[in-house]
Amino acid sequence: MGSAVGAVFAAAFGPFVYYGQMRQVFSQLFPFGRGLCHAYWAPNFWVFYIVLDKLLAFLLAKLGFNIQTPKASFTGGLVGDSTPFAVLPQVTPVTTFLLVLLAMSPCLVKAFLKPQPKNIIRWVTYACTCGFMFGWHVHEKASLHITIPLGVIAMNSSDDASHFFLVSIVSCYSMFPSCLRHKSTQ
């Protein structure tokens, strides 16, 4: 099995290694040069964090504190855009990585201590959810990494079906901005 996985990785990344383009591949896989949020915000933890920062900045400014906040920040998702928070601590890629690992740890421990093949899809779904909720520069389309495997197990129980129903609605709704195009951009 290990050689099959190695062969797939060699076939996928071999040409990039041969032409010396692995740095470009990594810059696309790990967009740390971009801001915390994409221009279209994914419905994850960072939305609440940013809204809380904006709310605290507004309230503290009303109470007379000198709070400097840029207008329309956190909506660009551009390269080099790391808009500072006004009140809450800055978030770095390392912070998001550690939060993802921390959120995954219950699943990883359970999978390590009691490996059960029937739960692999559930664990993959949980791990993808952790990455989606706490990851750096997450796109709204990444919700498919949760929705698709959850759809596979949706028929197992009514709980799985209700989770799939909720996640699929949120996922579809969050991808609407990707579907709509203004006439001037066609």
Quote the mean pLDDT of the chain: 84
pLDDT of residue 69: 73
What mean pLDDT comes out for the span 61-65? Answer: 90
In percent, the amount of the chain with pLDDT more than 70 equals: 83
Query: Nearest to residue 143, comparing CAs of 171, 162, 103, 163?
Result: 171
Give every CB contact of residue 150 below 8 A, 6+ residues apart in sequence: 125, 160, 163, 164, 167, 168
- Taking the C-alpha atoms of residue 135 and residue 44, their distance in angstroms, rounded to an integer, is 9
Any idea which of 20-24, 74-78, 108-112, 129-133 has the lowest mean pLDDT?
A: 74-78
What's the predicted TM-score (pTM) here?
0.77
Express each pLDDT in 6-47 by its tens digit.
899 889 889 998 999 888 887 777 766 677 776 667 789 998
Report whether pLDDT(163) > 60.
Answer: yes
pLDDT of residue 184: 53
CB 146 within 8 A of CB 128: yes
Q: Which residues pair with 182 in a beta bridge?
A: none
pLDDT of residue 37: 75
What mean pLDDT comes out for the span 140-150? Answer: 90
Express each pLDDT in 85-121 by its tens digit.
888 998 888 999 999 999 999 999 999 999 999 999 9
Domain ranges of the chain: 93-178
Report whether pLDDT(148) > 80.
Answer: yes
